[in-house]
Amino acid sequence: MLEAVDISWIIEQKTILRNIDFHLLLGECVGLIGPNGSGKSSLLKILAFLETPTSGQLYFQGQSVPKSVPLPIRRRIAIVFQESLLLNLRVFDNVAIGLKIRGLSKGKIQERVDYWLEQFGVRHLTKHWARSLSGGEAQRVSLARAFALEPDVLFLDEPFSALDAPTKEGLRIDLAQVFKSTHTTTVLVSHDFKDIEHLTNRVLILLNGQVVAEGSAPELLRSPQKGEVERFLAYFAS
Ligand SMILES: Nc1ncnc2c1ncn2[C@@H]1O[C@H](COP(=O)(O)OP(=O)(O)OP(=O)(O)O)[C@@H](O)[C@H]1O
Ligand SMILES: [Mg+2]
């Protein structure tokens, strides 16, 4: 579905990402985990065509992706960030806007918006203004907006990290349910190994802009690691 070969990203003479190979198969959810500043968001932005790597090549559905990414390819992906970036509109219009841009009919838009707001438990907020929502509600609306686009690849950059523990737990459960029913191909960045364990099939650990370990969450916790990776994982094993 998506592949990155030997990606490096250098800005202002600083190497942010170094020689990264990554692949994402249809229907899987792959996690990216690592300490602050390890390059998770940078890698996500490159995979989502928001930044251009200094070297390396991206492939989307088997085709190499040109430096200037064509709109039809960009429209196949959706992104949710840590802070929900809702527009100053009502909830309905926030979810509908991407569908309007894509030229869907009014009836189809209504159907999809209702469906996804329902899936994330916020249909009762349809007519509310985005600015009046709590952080948890806003993040649910952001997820509904992303899923409504029915993207080929979904990118989630720490979608729960601004939420309190019970809110986060509830949203994680709902998201796991949606993944189970849709098999949406996803890249999930999280600080929290619990998110990774519950939501992903496979995880890559990033340290200083490099992929230092890869496997399923239980495999990584079980298998012996060295140095900085061991120290990073020990924090979650305890
Ligand atoms: N556009 C940019 N210009 C300059 N430096 C950048 C840019 N984007 C990222 N960086 C630097 O790259 C490094 C990795 O940042 P990145 O945001 O990818 O880390 P992260 O793993 O997502 O961290 P966090 O867990 O805090 O979100 C940091 O040192 C950051 O300052
Ligand atoms: Mg980040």
Could you tell me if residue 84 is left (phi over 0), alpha (psi between -120 and 50 degrees) or otherwise beta? beta
pLDDT value at residue 219: 87
229 contacts: CB under 8 Å, gap ≥ 6: 205, 207, 212, 213
State pTM to two decimals: 0.93
How far is residue 12's CA from residue 6's CA, in Å, rounded to a whole number?
20
Q: Can you read off the two tokens belonging to residue 211? A: 């992929």
Residue 94 C-alpha from the chain's centroid: 19
pLDDT value at residue 238: 56
Q: Give CATH 3.40.50.300 domain extents, the chain.
A: 1-76+151-238
Angle between helices 135-148 and 165-182 in degrees, nearest 10: 10
| Ligand 1 center from residue 112 Cα (angstroms) | 35
Q: Is the CATH number 3.40.50.2000 carried by domain 1-76+151-238?
A: no
Nearest to 189 by CA among 77, 4, 42, 73: 42
Q: Tell me which residues have their CB within 5 A of the ion that is ligand 2.
A: 40-41
Q: Which ligand is nearest to the CA of 16?
A: 1
Q: Which ligand is nearest to the CA of 43?
A: 1
Which parts of the chain register pLDDT below 50? none
Out of 14, 18, 32, 42, give the residue to mutate to test ligand 1, the one with the largest number of ligand atoms within 8 Å of its CB: 42
